[in-house]
Amino acid sequence: MAHARHHDASDDELVERARVGDRAAYGELVRRHQTTALLLAAGICGSTEEARDIVQDRFVQGYRSLGQFRDDAPVRSWLLRVVANHAKNAVRTSSRRRQREDRWAALDHGWAAGVLVGDPVGELALAADETSGLLAALVLLPEHDREMLACRYLADLSEVETAVALGVPVGTVESRASRALTRARAALGEAADG
């Protein structure tokens, strides 16, 4: 009965319940948003193992920080921004431990494709084979392009959600995503030719 009550509740209702100590309500929020958060973190940091650790850590921290959550923003956007920021920080701090190519070699492409629902890679499917094409392109791109494409096409976030997750103005998301797609196509073309 309690699970059904949480399953039918809105995110806002679940936040309110979680704020008063209902852990099952927060568990439902995690269930709803963890796949997107995992894809986002993996796309940014290039490691499925690291993505799992980041998401678990940030969701636990999110529960402890519910008092700081502003009710005027969707909780999904807030959670994804926290995950994206932590993933970006993880990339910066771990770059001293291993090279970027090693990080991307650790990305389990089968895992990433297995958690996807539908075809989130959108336009990139024209230049590459679905998810594996997107993942192959990400390794060839600079960090800001990787983050943008991970948000928009791997995690399938809206422009508004992408803006919130990356901390950029909404108006810049479309143009930056378009430029990143162009660079991804070019990088894949060069890799195929070479």
Q: Would the pTM count as exceeding 0.85? A: no
Residues 6+ apart with CB under 8 A from 187: 137, 140, 141
CATH of domain 2-193: 1.10.1740.10
Query: How far apart are the C-alpha atoms of 74 and 169, rounded to whole Å?
Result: 17
Query: Domains of the chain: which residue ranges?
Result: 2-193
Tens-of-pLDDT digits for all 194 residues of the chain? Answer: 445 567 788 999 999 999 998 999 999 999 999 999 998 998 888 888 888 999 999 999 988 888 888 777 788 888 898 999 999 888 877 654 555 555 555 555 544 444 443 333 443 333 334 456 667 677 778 888 988 988 888 888 899 999 988 999 999 999 999 999 888 888 777 766 66
| Residue 123, φ and ψ in degrees, nearest 5 | -60, -30
